[in-house]
Amino acid sequence: MSQDRAIRTVPAMAAMKEAGQPITMLTAYDASFARLVDEADVDCVLVGDSLGNVIQGRDSTLPVTVEHMVYHVEAVSRGLTHPLLIADLPFMSYHDRASAMQAAAAVMRAGAGMVKLEGGSGVVPLVAELVAQGVPVCGHLGLTPQHVHRLGGYRVQGRDEALARALQEDARALEAAGAGMLVMECVPSALARAIAENLRIPVIGIGAGVDVDGQVLVIYDVLGISPGRRPRFVRNFMDEAGSIPAALAAFVEAVRERRFPDDQYSYS
């Protein structure tokens, strides 16, 4: 196996940050798309609770259950050979220690190599508990879709000074608790850059500018087939690629060359 097709691991992602190599991540929900993402040499694959929107046709991620996640993680894992497979823990599946352990065990047994959960200081103790039990954890800050009703909609987070400070503090707390990666969604580019520069763990952006350690998009957004209004941070790579494999390869290349996202797909 060549070096550039080595199996991706959590320590490998940390090494990529240390080396200044941008990390690529896409969602997948079935074995067929997983194979295509694998062939595009994507570093990480996320089975996101975004499946509630793009697979189930829901208007939020809240109806997604652990059972749904297990089904899709199992399917995706059968199509992968190289990327690190990350699975979301869905809404209210980690409201206490017991539920978090049960949900994490279920998706890890299904094939995930890391779990992702949303929130800051409120989930820090759970992150520490999961890590202590051998579960790699990816945090998620900024726009957290599971909290959409509390946030008042899908809005950019961290533009005011107080919330920006809170996000920085939460990021540091998640790292201190043992999180091995962090997703930052819909935050100003300067804030995301400051957080990435002050953490040892990789920071993966989605609507967080180019100056972080990697980028993630929903695969259906990359291919231009997601229903409804397209968020500002989404780029349709199919417009010029002409085929699914070419579009996925174009996303990987654009991220690794730091050409995506530019200002058009970022927030100030």
Which residues, listed in sequence order, are joined to residue 115 by a DSSP beta bridge? Answer: 87, 137
CA-CA distance, 48 to 252, in Å (whole number)? 19
Q: Is 185 a catalytic residue?
A: yes
CA-CA distance, 214 to 231, in Å (whole number)? 19
Q: Where are the alpha helices (DSSP H) in the chain?
A: 10-19, 31-39, 51-54, 66-77, 97-110, 124-132, 148-151, 161-177, 189-197, 219-222, 238-241, 244-256
Peptide bond into 202 cis (omega under 30): no
Q: Which of 228, 214, 215, 163 is nearest to 191 (CA)?
A: 163
Which residues, listed in sequence order, are joined to residue 220 by a DSSP beta bridge? Answer: none
CA-CA distance, 233 to 230, in Å (whole number)? 8
To the nearest 5 percent, what fractions of the chain are helix, strand and coil?
A: 45, 15, 40
Please pick, among 185, 197, 240, 257, the residue that the annotation labels catalytic: 185
Torsion-angle region of 134 (φ positive above 0: left; ψ -120 to 50: alpha; else: beta):
left
Active site residues: 185
